[in-house]
């Protein structure tokens, strides 16, 4: 079946502009995660969704970052007033929810969106 997809694959933007990154999780996966991969910081957790709610936003680096999820499926990560330090690969992952409400252990990652802020 189809895996996690992300769009765009590459995004170049000017400093100060807003960007939206999209993630389509695997159908039926109710848990969704965003991570950021950058040279200086490695792979960092950003936010976790269960359905449409985000019980853990602890990794969002500033209030310029926000994310939403609608219909328990597609998620959008928005970065406002982008800065050069936001340049990174943004990865989305999804996993299914087991009986009892816990997320499964394995996460399935998308190919990422490479964001370059000039």
Partner 1 sequence: AQSVAQPEDQVNVAEGNPLTVKCTYSVSGNPYLFWYVQYPNRGLQFLLKYITGDNLVKGSYGFEAEFNKSQTSFHLKKPSALVSDSALYFCAVSSFSGGYNKLIFGAGTRLAVHP
Token pair, residue 81, equals 């007033």
Classify residue 80 by its DSSP letter: S
Nearer to partner 1, 20 or 56 (CB): 56
31 binds partner 1 (CB under 8 A): yes
Shortest gap between Cβ of 64 and partner 1 (angstroms)? 22
Q: Which of 24, 26, 35, 86 binds partner 1 (CB under 8 A)?
A: 35
Site for partner 1 in 74-113 (CB under 8 A): 91, 93, 95, 101-112
Q: Around 94, how many Cα atoms within 13 Å sit in the side-chain half-sphere?
A: 22
12 binds partner 1 (CB under 8 A): no
Token pair, residue 66, equals 């926000």
Nearer to partner 1, 16 or 55 (CB): 55
65 binds partner 1 (CB under 8 A): no
Candidate ranges 14-22, 47-55, 61-69, 76-84; the one touching partner 1 (CB under 8 A): 47-55
Q: How many residues in the chain? A: 118
Cβ-Cβ contacts under 8 Å for 58 (sequence gap 6 or more): 45
Distances (CA, A) of 88 to 33, 80, 104: 16, 15, 27
């Amino acid at each position: 079946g189809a895996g996690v997809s992300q769009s765009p694959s590459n995004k170049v933007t000017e400093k100060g502009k807003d960007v939206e990154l999209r993630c389509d999780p695997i159908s039926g996966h109710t848990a969704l995660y965003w991570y950021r991969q950058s040279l200086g910081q490695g792979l960092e957790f950003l936010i976790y969704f269960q359905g449409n709610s985000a019980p853990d936003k602890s990794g969002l680096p500033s209030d310029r970052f926000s994310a939403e999820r609608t219909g328990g499926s597609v998620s959008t990560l928005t970065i406002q007033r982008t800065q050069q330090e936001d340049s990174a690969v943004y990865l989305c992952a999804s996993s299914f929810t087991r009986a009892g409400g816990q997320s499964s252990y394995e996460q399935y990652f998308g190919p990422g969106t490479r964001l370059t802020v000039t």
